[in-house]
Chain A
Amino acid sequence: MPANLETTITGLKLNNPTILASGVLGVTKASLKNVINNGAGAVTTKSISLEPRSGHKAPIIITYEAGMLNAVGYSNQGAVKAAEEFANSAEVGAPVIGSVIGQSVDDFIKVISKIKNCGFSAIEVPLSCPHTPGYGTLGGQHTPEMAKKITDAIKKISKLPLWIKVSPNENMIAVAKAAEAGGADAIVAGNSMGPGMIIDIKTAKPILGFGMGGVSGPALRPIAVRCVYDLYKAIKIPIIGCGGITYGRDLIEMMMAGATAVAVGTAVYYRGVSVFKKITEEAEQFLTENNYKDITQIIGLAHG
Chain B
Amino acid sequence: MDKITQPTIVKITKIINEGLNYKTFVFNYPLEARAGQYLMLWLPGEDLKPFAVAWKTPDKFALAVLKRGDFTAKLFEAHVGDLLGFTGPHGTYYNLTGRKKILLIGGGSGAPSVTFLAQEAGQQNIKVDFVLAAAAKEEIIFESWLTAQGVKVYHRFQDKKYEHAWDLITDLINKNNYDGLFACGPELLLKKIVDLSLEKNIFCQVSLERYIKCGIGVCGKCCVDNSGLCLCQAGPVVNNHLANQISEFGKYHRDGSGQKIYFKQ
Residue positions of A touching B, CB distance < 8 A: 24-28, 30-35, 46, 52-55, 57-67, 70, 72, 75-78, 81, 85, 198, 200, 202-203, 205-207, 209, 217-218, 266, 268-270, 272-273
Contact = CB atoms under 8 A, between A and B. Distances in A.
B226 A205 contact: no
Given A27-B258, A46-B258, A61 B218 contact: yes
B4 A205 contact: no
A159 B225 CA distance: 31
21 contacts: A25-B218, A25-B219, A26-B220, A28-B223, A28-B225, A30-B224, A31-B230, A33-B226, A52-B259, A58-B49, A61-B216, A65-B4, A72-B219, A75-B221, A75-B256, A76-B257, A81-B259, A203-B44, A205-B44, A207-B42, A268-B218
Given A27-B220, A81-B259, A65 B45 contact: no
A202 to B, nearest CB: 4
Contacts of A53: 257
Interface of B: 1, 3-7, 9, 40, 42, 44-49, 83, 85, 87, 213-214, 216-221, 223-230, 254-259
A77 B258 contact: yes
Contact of B227 (A34, A59, A64, A65): A34
A202 B7 CA distance: 11
A112 B185 CA distance: 40
Contact of B85 (A25, A75, A203): A203
B218 A55 contact: no
Contacts of A268: 217-218
What does DSSP make chain A's interface, helix, strand, loop or mixed? loop
B42 A59 contact: yes
B3 to A, nearest CB: 6
Nearest to A52: B257
Contacts of A24: 218-220
A217 to B, nearest CB: 7
Given A57-B47, A58-B214, A63-B5, A33 B258 contact: no
A219 to B, nearest CB: 9
Contacts of B217: 268-269, 272-273
Nearest to B82: A203
Contact of B47 (A30, A206, A209, A270): A209
A34 B47 contact: no
B1 A218 contact: yes
B248 to A, nearest CB: 9
Nearest to A85: B258
Nearest to B223: A31
Given A32-B228, A76-B258, A60 B213 contact: yes
Nearest to B260: A81
B44 A209 contact: no
Nearest to B255: A54
Contacts of B219: 24-25, 27, 60-61, 72, 75
B256 A54 contact: yes
Contacts of A65: 1, 4
Contacts of A59: 7, 40, 42, 48, 87, 214
A298 B219 CA distance: 32
Given A59-B48, A63-B3, A203-B85, A75 B218 contact: no
A58 B45 CA distance: 9
A28 B45 contact: no
Given A31-B228, A200-B44, A270-B3, A25 B256 contact: no
Central interface residue in B47, B223, B229, by most chain A CB within 10 Å: B223
Query: Across chains A and B, which 9 residue pairs bring their CB atoms closest together, nearest first?
Result: A34-B228, A58-B48, A54-B256, A30-B228, A25-B220, A203-B44, A31-B223, A31-B228, A27-B220
Contact of B6 (A62, A75, A218, A272): A62
A207 B6 CA distance: 8
Contacts of A57: 46-48
Contacts of A218: 1
A203 B11 CA distance: 11
A200 B87 CA distance: 13
Contact of B257 (A60, A64, A77, A206): A77
Nearest to A49: B257
Contacts of B255: 54
Contact of A63 (B6, B223, B256): B6
A256 B31 CA distance: 46
Nearest to A72: B219
A21 B256 CA distance: 20
A50 B39 CA distance: 34
Contacts of B226: 30, 33
